[in-house]
Structure 1
Amino acid sequence: MSETDHQPNTAVVVHGAGDLRVEELPAPAPRPDEAVVSVAYGGVCGSDLHYWRHGAVGESILREPMVLGHEVVGTVTAAAADGSGPAVGTAVAVHPATTGTAAGRYPADRPNLAPGTTYLGSAAHLPHTQGGFARFTALPTRMLRPLPAGLSLREAALAEPAAVALHGVHRAGDVAGKRALVIGAGPIGALAVAALRRAGAAEVTAVDLQELPLRIASEVGADRTLQAGDTDAIDAVEADVVIESSGNHHGLASAVRGAARGRTVVMVGLLPTGPQPALVSLAITKELDLRGSFRFVDEITEVLDALADGSLAIAPVATHEFAVEDALAAFETAADSASSGKVLLRF
């Protein structure tokens, strides 16, 4: 008898706006190329909060019940029948994307841009792509990344969002010796601060509205912090590289103002769908290089290695941990950026 046969498969399922439920699901039935993973931790992402509060993330509208979650780590409890992937007992992080196919429509080295790509816990397609917030889940072995020796599942719990932040830093190019500015010091912004510090940025300034995110940013490597309303101080930064991670047009305006002439702004924060006000005239006269950054390619492997060797210090970003049975309290806490950083569910 396997572990999944006698333990309840507790999961976090969203049924509609404001309707989050903790339910018992059937044991997973893996395909030949899938392993069963016993999930240890799952991080609550902004997209999870949007599905819970609004029933949608941008154009991805909830049309059927969906297991949430794409930031998960766990242990393999049943290896794939086809012999691929890690053995039973292997601790793994999860790369949540399944790359779409559209030859010639995206750069070969940037599969994150492939049309038709799916992501765990996403309502972009119908049927929805069920997520990983379940005690047991069947996942394709190509998604699984074994943890380096000595790295615990708890330490690896932030690997997926850290990969998003690292991808944004990679999009900025070589940041060594440069002055960096991070707009929005929530979990992704704080992780970007840590990634910039690891990449050799000479000075890192973090901006946010709230005191807690700014304190966390300092703990992971920011040299100084600024209040978002202090426009004069932001203007005076004159950064070589700006990481915009607030996900709103006010933050983008601060990024444009805080960038030095002829430098780069990387837009990591996902703004709402539709037209957005922006300081386009100033971006033009400064000749700024505005770059998008979407999810990540395979930076999760680099993140795991960096966590294992200690070169990426991100522990302060995770501020709360809840048992999966208390998922609603976890989501309510995660929705309050003034009192929480990254919130983890413990399975």
Structure 2
Amino acid sequence: MRSTNVTGVALACVLAGLLAGCSALPATGPSTQQITSVGEGKALTDYVLVNLDQRAVDILSQYRVTAFSQRFAAPRPKPNQIVGIGDGLSITIFEAGQGGLFSSEYGARVTFAQRVDSDGTITVPYGGKIKASGSSPQEIEKRIVAALEGRAIQPQALVAIQETVERTYVLAGEVANGGRKPISAAGDRILDAIASGGGLRAAAYETRVTLQRGNAQGSAIMKDLIDNPPENVYVQPGDRVYVARDPEIFLAFGAVTKPGPTEFGSEKVTLLEAVGKSGGLVDSRSDPGAFFVFRYEPDSALKQIKPDYDGRFGAKVPVVYRVDLRDPRAYFYAKGFTVRDRDVLYVANSALTELQKFLTIIGQARNLASTYETLDRTLINPRN
């Protein structure tokens, strides 16, 4: 009799454990109800839910990346007319006739190079130390002529900046020729800077450009800089430009054939193409009416899509777009909806799939109950 009690207790525990699993069925992600509602009469608080339609697609098609233009917008740097410490100068001194200090078989002139010393000066033969740092080449020319008056024959000087240290930026990463680069007198934009490094080693649509200026940093895909000219900002002295192969990807989860990260593999990917790249939906599991895209949107775009949005999330808004692929029009929406880097695509399981899981658990419980019943009978009436 004791064994029967033990068996009954064990059976009750197993059944309770299995049936408890009905409230937390194994799944690859949240259910449709969990995404679209948090309870009767309650509003979503962690993100904004948008049912994708043609109006939303039209608004989003006007979106342009603003990684650089808003954060790093600056006018063209002034022409390189101020000499700094460490700069390399080319100095030419002329005399009015032969027989002077700088006369030689090549004429009455001499050209030499000087680098501005740490104290901000240069050294001119027969003229001594001359202040150069913080001055224009024309000012340095006048000081050289003044230092040589009475020694050289009607001297004149020409000063040109050959190498600048203060007016430079650093170019590094996946370029043919990186290093410290001078900013030209006309000013250089990011694309100019990359061109000065010998160009890219990877395709523009899979190359990420990162710009660091002081404590500020931003990054964008190279193709966006080409397509959106305002993003191609001027490089400033002290900037660091880093180029790396970092393909754009989207992540697909749930009832898709090939879940996980997938590279765009082209310059632009629509939502319909992304579904294809993920192998399509799993017919036996997916809910075509529960196809979701998770991303952050600028608040300016969301306010156009949902005029009643209260702005509670700030500049970047977590948005979940819902696409109902049971509606034929949704295929046109999906064809016009452009996937962005690091978007998350999720397809929820159908309600039938969840029911099948529930019935499977019940079936397991029945099988175990039968096993325990047989074991119980064996313990009561053991065979000799």
Tell me which interval the TM-score lies in, with the shorter structure as reference length: under 0.3
Q: Highest Rg: 1 or 2?
A: 2
Query: So what's the TM-score if we normalise by structure 2?
Result: 0.17
Query: So what's the TM-score if we normalise by structure 1?
Result: 0.19
Structure with greater contact order relative to length (CA < 8 Å, sep ≥ 6):
2
